[in-house]
Amino acid sequence: MFDIGFSELLVIGVVALLVIGPERLPRVARTIGHLMGRMQRYVADVKADIDREVELEELRKMRDSVQQAATNIETSVQSELNKAETELNQAAASASGEVSAAPPAGAQVSPAQEAAPAIEEKKETGVAAIEEKR
């Protein structure tokens, strides 16, 4: 910080010895040492506070970028889910239209499938008869 060499310190010491005197010089040097120590601790505390604030700001920026990425991922997943749901609904609607149609010619039909329309008719007739009795 300061460019003070040994010769300059020696000159400062001799001048201080002449001005202050040999009796008070040790007490003054001790006081100056305490003040310099306090100043160094204060400067170290300020540096540590500044470093913490810088790190905290970096963490905030990182948190914001992670939240932004999470929001983007959530949005893309939601849009893909909506698209898949729409496709499934369309497929289900087209499949329900095909189920009511007769099976293609030459297709093998199981006995359960042949009996299904008759069973459905009986159920509907039975439900209608019960409702009429009420």
Q: Find the mean pLDDT for residues 21-45.
A: 93
User: Is 107 contained in some domain?
Assistant: no
Distance in Å from the first CA to the final CA of the chain: 104
User: Is 76 contained in some domain?
Assistant: yes
Report whether pLDDT(114) > 80. Answer: no
Q: How many domains are there within the chain? A: 1
Tell me the two tokens of residue 55.
Answer: 């790190």
Report whether pLDDT(113) > 70. Answer: no
* Structural domain boundaries, residue 68: 1-95
User: Is 2 contained in some domain?
Assistant: yes
Say what the pTM is: 0.45
Q: What is the rounded CA–CA span in Å between residue 45 and residue 36?
A: 14
User: Is 74 contained in some domain?
Assistant: yes
